[in-house]
Structure 1
Amino acid sequence: MARKVPEVNASSTADIAFLLLIFFLMTTTMNVDTGLTRMLPPMPDPNQKQDDVEVKRRNIFSVLINKSDKLLVRGEPMEVSMLKDKTKEFIMNPNNDPNLSEFEEKDIPVIGKYKVSKGVVSLQNDRGTSYEMYMKVQNELVAAYNELRDELSTSVYGKPFSKLAKEEQETISKAIPLKISEAEPKNVGGK
């Protein structure tokens, strides 16, 4: 006669698995996508004429990234490693070069009379541009502004921009405003 194999009572196994699943879902933390910290410009005054917003070509530092991740700055090919220095040169225009940005002299509290650049960095990429290249370019452009702000804050307050109080940071930001304009990506390469 064949021997009977004892059965294991598995009626509560599904309940236990479900409780474990709920436990792990409740105790696990999820990473939250952070994205880029970029403040949008304020809404334009409805009474302002459209002609008042025009920017001279001289004051535009155009940065284009194509689908092959090649960089074109003001119509010239450039390596990403050179972008930060060229951006700083464009913004500050140390030799009063007529091909670089113009200045508007403003009276800024604590600093006094300061030549504020009218330059705008215009970034545009192709839809086929890699995210890695886009982030490299973004980082270089923001690093240029950060270095300029650090240099000014060190000369005025004796410490870097990130260590300043909020009011002091606002003063430096008035002297070196972050002006990066991002245009809608184009589908140049047909990708």
Structure 2
Amino acid sequence: MPRRGGPPEVNAGSMADIAFLLLIFFLVTTTIETDAGLDRMLPPMEPPEDNVVIKQKNIFTVNINKNGQLLVEEELLDLKNLRNAAMEFLDNGGDGTCNYCKGARDESSSDNPSKAIISLKNDRETKYSTYITVQNELVGAYNDLRNREAQRLFNRKFTEMEAEYLNPETPSSVREELKDKVKQIQDLFPQKLSEAQTSTN
């Protein structure tokens, strides 16, 4: 007796449903990694002031070459000494107008924390990790000085106050109280960290 028909047919009606369910499963369970960037708060847009003269002694220059070496104020410096060198510059108070500065009051260094600028420049081939480490040390110099003044004025670290102020879960009444204190400390040592154009050689 001859065989009737070909091979048995497979019912593919539910394949689309299965594929759709698998797609939803993978979309829900897959995690997407995100790269952490630099946390920087940009200053507000302000019109440039006319005839601004910045004295060279109020600029603290930090250059990083492609080998990761630091040239600070035209001299080689170890990374471990960078924070202290930056703090000495910021806290100098050379013109005598800073009554909270505890520096050497060297007339050849920065006049006042409000006039002090740190200029950071790196080579195009500088390692990213070195660049970030140097930035952290310079920001750390500002934070150490701000912590000192916050302890003196409010018996608290500035970094703790700032973190609590920026935390969205902090009650608005507490944030309002912290706002003036954080600004007061920031005004004592304003963070003027300038990143110069990257050099190509």
Indicate the TM-score class for this superposition, using the shorter chain for normalisation. Answer: 0.7 to 0.9
C-alpha distance in structure 2 between counterparts of 1:8 and 1:63, whole Å = 76
Aligned counterpart, 2:139: 142
Q: Amino acid of the residue matched to residue 96 of structure 1?
A: R
- Counterpart in 1 of 2:117? 120
User: For residue 189 of structure 2, what is the aligned residue in structure 1?
Assistant: 176
Tell me which protein shows more strand as a share of its residues: 1
Determine the C-alpha separation between the residues in 1 that align with 2:118 and 2:31: 38
Which SS does the other structure have where 2:141 is aligned? Answer: helix
Match of 2:175 in 1: none
CA deviation map 1:43-102 (0-9, x unaligned): 3426x32x22x3111000111111111111111111111100100000001111123211
Superposed displacement of residue 184, structure 1? 2.0
- SS of the residue 1:38 aligns to: coil
Residue 10 of structure 1, CA deviation: 9.1
Match of 1:77 in 2: 76
**Counterpart residue type for residue 95 of structure 1:** A
- d(CA) in 2 for partners of 1:13, 1:155: 71
Q: Which structure 1 segments of 5+ residues have no match?
A: 1-5, 104-115
Displacement after TM superposition at 1:167 (Å): 1.7
Q: Tell me, in whole angstroms, the C-alpha distance in 2 between the residues paired with 1:16 and 1:184.
A: 55
2:176 aligned with 1:167, yes or no?
no
Out of 31, 34, 38, the residue aligned to residue 32 of structure 1 is 34
State the TM-score, normalized to the length of structure 1: 0.78
1:1-191 paired onto structure 2 within 5 Å: 11=12, 16=18, 19-45=21-47, 48-49=49-50, 51-52=51-52, 54-93=53-92, 94-103=103-112, 116-164=113-161, 165-188=178-201
Is residue 64–residue 121 contact of structure 2 (8 Å, CA) maintained in 1? yes
Question: What's the secondary structure of 1:136's corresponding residue?
Answer: helix
Q: Which amino acid aligns with 1:34?
A: A
1:97 to 1:20, Cα distance in 2 relative to 1, 3 A = same
How many percent of aligned residue pairs carry the same amino acid? 44
C-alpha distance in 1 between matches for 2:9 and 2:132: 57
Shift of 1:144: 0.6
SS at match of 1:39: coil
Residues in 2 aligned to 1:60 and 1:87: alpha-carbon distance in whole angstroms: 11
AA aligned opposite 1:87: A
| Deviation, structure 1 residue 23 | 1.9
Aligned mates of 2:121, 2:191 — CA distance in 1: 17
Q: Check the 8 A contact 1:122/1:182 in 2, yes or no.
A: yes
1:92–1:117 CA contact under 8 A, matched in 2: no
Residue of structure 1 equivalent to 2:3 = none
